[in-house]
């Protein structure tokens, strides 16, 4: 039979080990965040609502970076977007990111926000994908249910964080450079952020770039403004 001392020793060892393991708490989607229009349009989608693989489900996790609460950090390598919280935590969302040749990285701010936005493809997308110049808002619009428009140096970067009509690609690198979440997840994210929030998109294959982190903490890009 183990003595009281040995039991306490095992408990202490267990606590030490648990401190090295990331705590992950998965979040179910609350119906309270959906507006009547959201419920109406989400009920009309024609795409298959493919369940997100467990590693990419929305979760509250331990977070080690030092961006201010309310900031967004995008880790394209691992297909995660983090919304930084107080107390060393973050809400983590699975994302679709751009193909390597079309990926974007840097520091930006949310310059505009829209619910059920229209899609205005870039000239490159029109030429490459053969899409129309304008796609009206709706349940199958590629922009999905919400869009966060990224600005840098006071100008629209043309990159967005937005919903998708292809949830089966969450966790993949196939977009034209924008950052996609499921329509449900982007509604959740949209409800938690404000215009002006800092967005740090880490440079692919560079891990937690100290340059990106430093710039975000300073609150400016290399030109001194967003």
Catalytic residue (one of 64, 120, 178, 206)? 178
Neighbours of 209 (CB within 10 A): 14
Beta strands in the chain (DSSP E): 24-26, 59-62, 72-75, 80-84, 89-94, 97-98, 106-115, 146-152, 155-162, 173-175, 179-180, 198-201
Could you confirm whether 120 is annotated as catalytic?
no
152 contacts 221 by C-beta, under 8 angstroms: yes
Give Cα 164 distance to the centre of its chain: 12
Catalytic residue (one of 20, 64, 120, 162)? 162
Could you confirm whether 178 is annotated as catalytic?
yes
Active site residues: 162, 178
């Amino acid at each position: 039979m183990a003595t009281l001392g040995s039991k306490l020793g095992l408990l202490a060892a267990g606590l030490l080990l648990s401190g090295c393991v990331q705590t992950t708490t998965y979040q179910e989607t609350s119906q309270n965040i959906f507006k009547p229009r959201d419920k109406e349009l989400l009920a009309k989608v024609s795409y298959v609502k493919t369940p997100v693989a467990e590693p990419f489900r929305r979760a509250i996790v331990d977070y080690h970076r030092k961006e201010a609460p309310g900031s967004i950090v995008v880790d394209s390598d691992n297909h995660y977007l983090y919304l930084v919280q107080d107390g060393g935590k973050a809400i983590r969302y699975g994302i679709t990111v751009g193909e390597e040749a079309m990926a974007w990285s840097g520091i930006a701010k949310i310059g505009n926000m829209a619910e059920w936005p229209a899609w205005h493809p870039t000239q490159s997308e029109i030429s490459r994908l053969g899409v129309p110049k304008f796609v009206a808002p709706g349940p199958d619009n590629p922009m999905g249910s919400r869009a966060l428009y990224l600005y840098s140096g006071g100008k629209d970067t043309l990159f967005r964080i937005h919903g998708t009509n292809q949830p089966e690609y969450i966790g993949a690198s196939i977009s034209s450079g924008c950052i996609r979440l499921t329509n449900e997840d982007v509604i959740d994210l949209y409800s938690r952020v404000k215009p002006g929030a800092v967005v740090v998109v880490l440079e692919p294959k560079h891990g937690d770039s100290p340059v990106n982190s430093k710039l975000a903490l300073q609150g400016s890009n290399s030109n001194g403004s967003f």
